[in-house]
Chains A and B, each alone.
Chain A
Amino acid sequence: SQQGEEDPQALSIQEGENATMNCSYKTSINNLQWYRQNSGRGLVHLILIRSNEREKHSGRLRVTLDTSKKSSSLLITASRAADTASYFCATVGYSTLTFGKGTMLLVSP
C-alpha cells in the first residue's frame, strides 16, 4: 500500500504560531495533495505538489516534498482560529490515490 500517514495525529497551537504536519508514504507517486476538512463537512483541496517539485506555496501554506525520503510536509504560517480542521494528505500514483488518516489541528485564540 502507498497509503500516506500523517504525523502528528493531533496538534494544538495558539493563534499566530506556525503549524507543521508531515506525511509519509511508501511507493512512487505522480503527485501528492493536501486536503482540509472542517468538522462534519467534505474535504476541500488545498494544494498539489508534483513528484518533480520540491516546494510549493499558496498564501499561508507551504508544502515540501522529498521523494527520496517519501515524505511531505504542510506548513501553515501565522495560524488563525479558522484554520482549526483536519488535514489529510493524498498520494496519487499512476492509477490510484490513497488518503492518510489525517492530522487534527486545533488553533486556540
Chain B
Amino acid sequence: DVKVTQSSRYLVKRTGEKVFLECVQDMDHENMFWYRQDPGLGLRLIYFSYDVKMKEKGDIPEGYSVSREKKERFSLILESASTNQTSMYLCASSFRIGRSGNTIYFGEGSWLTVV
C-alpha cells in the first residue's frame, strides 16, 4: 500500500516561530504537493514539486516555502508563523500528472495552530 506520512499530526506554535512540516512518501512518486484546507474554502494548493529540487508555486504560496532535497521527502516551511496560517495541512504525492490513471495519495493531515 502507498503510504504518505506526515511527521506531525498536531502542532501548536507561537507567532513568529519557524515551522517545519515534513512529508515522506514510499512510492517513488515524481510529484508531491502541499495543500491547506480551511472550512468553506476547500483544498488550496500551496506548492508542488515535480522532481527533486524542483518546485512550483500553487495558488497561495505567500508566507510559505518548500524544500525537496530527496525524491521521497517534501517539506513545507513557515518562515515566520502567523495566526492566519492556523489550518489543516495536507501533503500528497502522485506519479507525473497527465499519466493516465495517476492517483493522488494523501497523508493524514497536520493540524497547525498558531497562537
Contacts and interface: CB of A to CB of B under 8 A. Distances in A.
Interface of A: 30-31, 33, 35, 40-45, 48, 50, 88, 90, 92-102
Contacts, number: 57
Nearest to B91: A42
Interface of B: 4, 35, 40-43, 45, 88, 90, 92, 94, 97-98, 100-109, 111
Contacts of A93: 97-98
B108 A42 contact: yes
A45 B104 contact: yes
Contact of B108 (A41, A90, A97, A101): A41
7 contacts: A30-B98, A30-B100, A33-B103, A48-B103, A93-B97, A93-B98, A100-B42
A18 B43 CA distance: 26
Chain A binding site: helix, strand, loop or mixed by DSSP?
Answer: strand
A-B pairs with the 5 shortest C-beta distances? Answer: A101-B42, A42-B106, A99-B43, A43-B106, A42-B108
B101 A99 contact: no
A94 B97 contact: yes
Given A41-B108, A95-B98, 20 more contacts: A31-B100, A33-B103, A33-B104, A40-B88, A41-B109, A42-B106, A43-B106, A44-B106, A50-B100, A88-B42, A92-B97, A94-B98, A97-B94, A97-B104, A98-B45, A99-B35, A99-B42, A99-B43, A100-B42, A101-B40
Contacts of A95: 97-98
Given A101-B40, A102-B42, A42 B104 contact: no
